[in-house]
Amino acid sequence: MEYLSLPFALRKGYLRTTDLGESISNSIGLILSTRRGSLPFDPEYGCDLWEKEYSDLFMVNKSDVQGSIRNAISKFEPRLYNISVSLINIQTGPDHPLGVAVKVIGNYRDEKDEKRFEEVFSIG
């Protein structure tokens, strides 16, 4: 099965497609980068990661943040299950000013096989 790829770009009368793993990755990226409540047609869509203080990501509320992200992914990306979320430090720089990334691990079922999903998403 083919899935639409991001970014959407109509070229020569067709949209670029991708496989299931990349489609799930694109979907999670959208969930993580969307502030919950910012879409008028679905105010629940997104992640409340953007409502947290930077210190919350690695201090007292770290498990709350991870749980919130896991719940958002579970709700809006049902193709992924057995989801594990962790926050990790990354090298700060122009592309990663906050030095925070979200690591998502889970499983999904392709046409007939169960596959493992693992990807790191930079925040900021």
Domain residue extents for the chain: 3-123
Q: What share of the chain is helix, strand, coil (3-state, %, to 5)?
A: 30, 35, 35
Kindly report, residue by residue over 96-123, the tens digit of the pLDDT.
556 678 999 999 998 889 999 999 998 7
pTM of the model: 0.81
* Distance separating alpha carbons of residues 74 and 17, to the nearest angstrom: 24
Kindly report, residue by residue over 49-78, the tens digit of the pLDDT.
777 666 556 665 677 888 889 999 999 999
* Distance separating alpha carbons of residues 16 and 7, to the nearest angstrom: 9
Cα of first residue to Cα of last residue in the chain, in angstroms, is: 32
Task: State which fold the 3-123 domain adopts.
Answer: Nuclear Transport Factor 2; Chain: A, (3.10.450)
